[in-house]
Amino acid sequence: MLTEFFNNNILPFLKSFSVFDVLDIVLVAFIAYHVIKFVKQTRAAQLIKGIVILLVVMYASDWLHLNVINFILINTMQVGVIALLIVFQPELRRALEHMGRSKFGKIFNFDARHDYRELVEETCLAASALSRSRTGALIVFERDTKLDDLLTGGTVIRAELTSELLENIFVPNTPLHDGAVLVRDGRIEKAATVLPLAESKTISRELGTRHRAALGISELSDCVVLVVSEETGKVSIALNGDMIRNLSPDSLRQLLRKLVDTPEKESRAAVLKFWKGRGK
């Protein structure tokens, strides 16, 4: 009986399979896995649960012949496609930017790479001086994702990054001290620019506006953000929506060397390695 079923049904089905069918299934599974993984990390997860419930209710109302409810739900779902694009706009944008920063996206990136060793040294010198004088500072190191549409205002400088220039920019009560410095391609591009604030309610109350701004911009891009606290003088680094706080000069230098000129995936591995070494 089982042999006959296998010969009549399963075997012809398997014989009809080609290499392209297998490739098709593997690609769909790969895409589905990464979509689910991405959705779980965002607020979209709860919204998708609500959509699934609406779909179940819609099909149940059709089966039970609840025509009015079914009509309302069907029309709501049709309009809902446009609404979903609007609601998920930040998530969709982040997903496309992540795709562009992948190894495949690097194929289309012809920008020259820069030597950031001197930049890191100058930044660390400035951070140490600002920390000692308890002068607040916010420095954004742009990587693959361009930040122009995420920043507001600012004064264009386009000057070589030096410790003296960074210290002068953040001197209190000067025109450029209030805001962030944007570092692009190894040079100071802008000063006194405004960053988007992090909206998470789980952020510690100890963190002020500078730290919230650092977390906010790091959530939306792959940039590395250095923060010097005006109240305590402590130095922190924000990356991918997380913050490493209370860095010593040596730790800051070690971390910046690993982060500023590395892709996002490699920088995450560098942070994990840094934390393991710090815990010993």
Q: In residues, how long is the chain?
A: 280
Cβ 266 vs Cβ 240: under 8 Å: no
The pTM of this model reads: 0.64
Q: In what order do the strands lie in the sheet with 224-228?
A: 155-160, 187-193, 180-184, 137-141, 224-228, 235-239, 242-244
Structure tokens at 234: 């402590």
Residues of the chain with pLDDT under 70: 1-2, 4-18, 38-47, 81, 84-115, 200-202, 261-280
pLDDT digits (tens, 9 = 90+) for 122-179: 999 999 999 999 999 999 999 877 888 888 888 999 999 999 999 999 999 888 888 9
Structure tokens at 228: 């010097």
Give CATH 3.40.1700.10 domain extents, the chain. 117-279
Q: For residue 36, how far is the Cα from the chain centroid?
A: 17
- Please give the pLDDT value at position 107: 41
Where are the extended beta strands (E) located within the chain?
A: 137-141, 155-160, 180-184, 187-193, 224-228, 235-239, 242-244
- Strands 235-239 and 155-160, sheet pairing: unpaired
Pure H helices in the chain = 2-5, 11-15, 19-40, 44-63, 67-87, 89-100, 103-106, 117-132, 163-169, 209-220, 249-259, 264-279
- Please give the pLDDT value at position 150: 85
- Please give the pLDDT value at position 194: 92
Angle between helices 89-100 and 67-87 (to 10 degrees): 50
Q: Write the CATH number of the domain with boundaries 117-279.
A: 3.40.1700.10
- Please give the pLDDT value at position 17: 64
Residue recorded with tokens 């490699």: 266
- Please give the pLDDT value at position 112: 45
List CB contacts of 38: < 8 A, sequence separation 6 or more: 91, 95, 98
